[in-house]
Amino acid sequence: MTDMTKEELHRGLADAVVNMDEATSARLSEEAVERRYDAFEAIDHGLAKGMETAGRLFEEEEYFVPELLMCADALNAGVDILKPHIKRGKQDIRCKIVIGVISGDTHDIGKNLVKLMLSSSGFEVVDLGRDVPPQSFVDRAVEEGAGIIMISSLMTTTMEGMWEVVRMLEERGLRDRIKVAVGGGPVSQGFADKIGADGYSPNANHAVRLAAELAATLA
């Protein structure tokens, strides 16, 4: 066991994620447990910070999908060790989010990256998958008590379904309780404004910031 302060260990965990180093992530996570450092803080200030940096590198096109997935593997290697040691009541789930690809579209790489980044940042994510009907988004959000619905599309022919989700929420009087965010290749801020969505995200890293902003309005 090395002679590391808690802050140094947190930085080491963050670097391990950015460097896609599963072995170091696991070793430092085990050290955090041995030293009785707060497990949640090790995840939040260490592993998640590293994933945030990886997301920024992805946004800046220094990292691509394979690198981001390897960063996630390093993060998960540490989380698997630390999670059982989180003190009861310490893990703060910021908001439950329902996410999916709208009906008619089966392109889900972008959605999967957003899910990964959200989960790494403390959100509870319910993934509906791809080719999801508008009604399913609404029904599942109500069933799960979700505060945010995130919808993606890479096909212009399917974007109308996003509008349907907003309309259904309005018809059921749920627009104050459930926020809607949209994203994907053909989607724009202008389109989001047109359909009455609460936000638009151009990439996975921005989606986390947007989710945090929307969650704050629900508090």
Q: Which domains does the chain have, with CATH numbers?
A: 7-85 (1.10.1240.10), 96-218 (3.40.50.280)
Q: Which long-range contacts (CB under 8 A, 24 or more apart) does 37-42 make?
A: 37/6, 37/9, 38/87, 38/90, 39/82, 39/83, 39/85, 39/86, 39/87, 39/90, 40/82, 40/86, 40/87, 40/90, 40/91, 41/6, 41/10, 42/9, 42/10, 42/13, 42/78, 42/82
Q: pLDDT per position in the chain (219 positions), as tens?
A: 567 899 999 999 999 999 999 999 999 999 999 999 998 889 878 998 898 898 889 878 999 989 988 998 999 899 889 988 877 554 455 689 999 999 999 988 789 888 888 887 778 999 999 999 999 999 999 999 999 999 999 899 999 999 999 999 999 999 999 999 999 989 999 999 999 999 999 987 789 889 999 999 986
